[in-house]
Amino acid sequence: MIEFYDSENGAVVNPDDYDGEYPHVGDILRSGDDLFAVLGVTDGSDCRVVTLKRTSNSALFGIDPFDHPGETKDTNPKDAVGIGKAPLSTVPAPFLHALGLAMMEGARKYGRHNYRTAGIRYSVYYDAAMRHLTAWWEGEDIDPDSGLPHPIKAAACMAVLFDSMVQENATDDRPPQSPPGWLAGMNKHAADLLKKYPESLPPHTEL
């Protein structure tokens, strides 16, 4: 059993998009029109307590997951991580440079940072990213229009989409939310299939 509480007022929160998976510090959950960041997860005697902090789209990465008043210790080596900044050294350099090329192509075609002034529509960038990913999955590595790898073109779509989430200038035309837990149900069904067919025949791949 898991219970969610607002750290500001102690009120019970019922996340709309919680899929049953174990929540982690820094996760973003939605409850109605509100967004909450997971600040802490504590195992109680009869349930797991999740402490949340109200946030907003513009603060998706503004939550310090190590900012737990009363929980830090001077001798804890993890405290040094808690005062660090968001790192770029964790992102592969070839990816960063390739993404820069994809963004440069868009800047030359449409004007640099045009998406910040004009805003975007979620469905347009979702569709574009999925077209690149499905083309790559079906065996086409390079986008014939740009000469760049399809995964990088998809990443550029996601970069623009996320930036618009941060800037709060996107038109959210996603469909109404699915019922909470639908993904957890799919994952359980997949696990059941693996148990039912433990010895799968070899896949047919390009290898």
pLDDT given for residue 39 in this prediction: 76
| Per-residue pLDDT at 17 exceeds 80 | no
What gap in Å lies between CA 31 and CA 13, rounded to an integer?
A: 7
Are residue 26 and residue 63 in the same domain, yes or no?
Answer: yes
Region 43-63: mean pLDDT is 65
What is the arithmetic mean of pLDDT over 158-174? 94
- Are residues 70 and 113 located together in one domain of the fold? no
Angle among Cα 190, 191, 192 to the nearest 5 degrees reads: 90
Residue 186 maps to a domain? no
Instruction: Confirm whether 182 is domain-assigned.
Output: no
Is residue 47, in this structure, part of any structural domain at all? yes
Between CA 78 and CA 90 the distance in angstroms is: 17
Q: Are 45 and 28 in contact (CB under 8 A)?
A: no
Specify whether 100 is located in the same domain as 151.
yes
Number of domains observed in the structure of the chain: 2
Domain that holds residue 42: 2-82
Residues 103 and 157 in one domain: yes
Whether 87 is covered by a domain: the verdict is no
124 located within any domain = yes
Q: What is the pLDDT of residue 37?
A: 79
Q: What is the C-alpha separation between 195 and 190, in angstroms, rounded?
A: 9
Single-letter code of the amino acid located at 121: R
Q: Based on the number of CB atoms within 10 Å of its own CB, is 109 exposed (0-12), middle (13-18) or buried (19 or more)?
A: exposed
Percent of the chain with pLDDT over 70: 81
| Per-residue pLDDT at 180 exceeds 90 | no
Domain membership flag for residue 192 = no
Range among 31-40, 81-90, 188-197, 198-207 rated most confident: 188-197
Is residue 181 situated within a structural domain? no
First to last CA, the chain: 44
Of the candidates 9, 19, 56, 65, the one whose C-alpha atom is nearest the C-alpha of residue 165 is: 56
pLDDT tens by residue, 59-110: 455 544 444 444 444 555 555 545 567 888 889 999 999 999 999 999 999 9
